[in-house]
Amino acid sequence: MVTDQPKILVVDDEPSNRGLLAEVLKDDYKVILAKSGEMALSLASRHRPDIVLLDVVMPDMDGYQVLRTLKSQDETRHIPVIFISALDSVADEEKGLLLGAVDYITKPFHAPIVRARVRNHVEAVSHRRLLERLALVDALTEIPNRRRLEQALQLRWPPGQYLSVILLDVDHFKLYNDHYGHSGGDRVLRQVAGAVQKTLKRETDLVARYGGEEFVLFLPHTNAEGGRVCAELARSAVENLLIPHEKSLVGPFLSVSLGGTSVLLPPGGIVPTLVMEQSDQQLYLAKQLGRNRVCWAA
């Protein structure tokens, strides 16, 4: 069974309509069926479908109310909605589109038209998601970029949990660039990014390129002890690459310096801005003490 098929949520109070649409779409999509507006909202929140096919006239909660609710919730506001309705006046179609539907199909519908319109909107969704992913990835190293890190910093995390942030800087990178050339410097940044990323084992952990030769490790649910371990693993991983650095003032091979801090998240779960500042101070201290080391905020 194909597990990565796009998901289509079909919402109609008439069993025959649900069955017919399911039959039309089942070969290309995973079809989820809802017989009421309340059921549709619950399934949309749970499954996050790629497209919603929504009837307008339904008891209790009509399609317009369902659409308004979907658009009012963060987790469902971006799901495209196509109305399929027996209401075929220009005013009805205009109302649906003005509320935020991406398309309006009148009943009785024709199967080829439904398939074509759904396919077009699914492709648009896929294209948008690809652009969103690319916007959050550093083009050189192919790891998350600063924008993705800032998103993580702005999320609400479970309060009362520890969170650690580590700043990592490649030692004497300018000297490396000057000696080996910018293509060599680019190659090294990709190697460092890959080595550090491999040290992180949890889905919630994040390493991002912060800018230039600086990287950030963002570690939710991690106290100071765990953060230091992760920082040392990252430092060792780069050191073990044994990349020659003839101009380094630290040693014969490329190395990195790291500064980190941990914080107990306050009520609300917002990451305090001082976390980045304290980690930057510790990174500066690591450089002052000779580089190729980890320093941690008390």
Give residue 110's region: left, alpha or beta (phi > 0; psi -120 to 50).
beta
- The residue among 250, 184, 242 whose CA lies nearest residue 213 is 184
Ranges for all domains in the chain classified under CATH 3.40.50.2300: 7-135
Q: In this structure, which CATH number among 2.30.30.830, 3.40.630.30, 3.30.70.270, 1.10.10.10 belongs to the domain 146-296? A: 3.30.70.270
Mean pLDDT of all residues in 35-60: 95
pLDDT of residue 165: 97
pLDDT at 52 over 80: yes
Annotated catalytic sites, by residue? 213
- With tokens 């580590």, the residue in question is 166
pLDDT in tens, 100-139: 999 999 999 999 999 999 999 999 999 888 887 888 999 9
pTM of the model: 0.68
3-state SS record for 75-104: CCCCCCEEEEECCCCHHHHHHHHHHCCCEE
pLDDT of residue 129: 84
pLDDT of residue 268: 86
Ranges for all domains in the chain classified under CATH 3.30.70.270: 146-296
CATH 3.20.10.10 fits 7-135, yes or no: no
pLDDT at 228 over 60: yes
Band of the pLDDT at 3, cuts 50, 70, 90? Answer: low
Band of the pLDDT at 156, cuts 50, 70, 90? Answer: confident
- Percent of the chain having pLDDT more than 90? 88
What the block records as the tokens of 46 is 């749970």
Q: How far is Cα 187 from Cα 194, in angstroms, rounded to an integer?
A: 11
Q: How far is Cα 238 from Cα 188, in angstroms, rounded to an integer?
A: 10
pLDDT of residue 120: 94
Q: How far is Cα 227 from Cα 296, in angstroms, rounded to an integer?
A: 9
Mean pLDDT of all residues in 13-35: 95
pLDDT at 1 over 80: no
pLDDT of residue 8: 97
pLDDT in tens, 239-297: 999 999 999 999 999 999 999 999 999 988 889 989 999 999 999 999 999 999 999 99
pLDDT in tens, 174-206: 999 999 999 999 999 999 999 999 999 898 999
pLDDT of residue 148: 94
pLDDT of residue 2: 43
Give one DSSP letter per residue of 191-259, joined into a string: HHHHHHHHH--STT-EEEEEETTEEEEEEET--HHHHHHHHHHHHHHHHTT--B-TT-SS-SB--EEEE
Q: Write down the mean pLDDT value for the chain.
A: 94
Band of the pLDDT at 31, cuts 50, 70, 90? Answer: very high
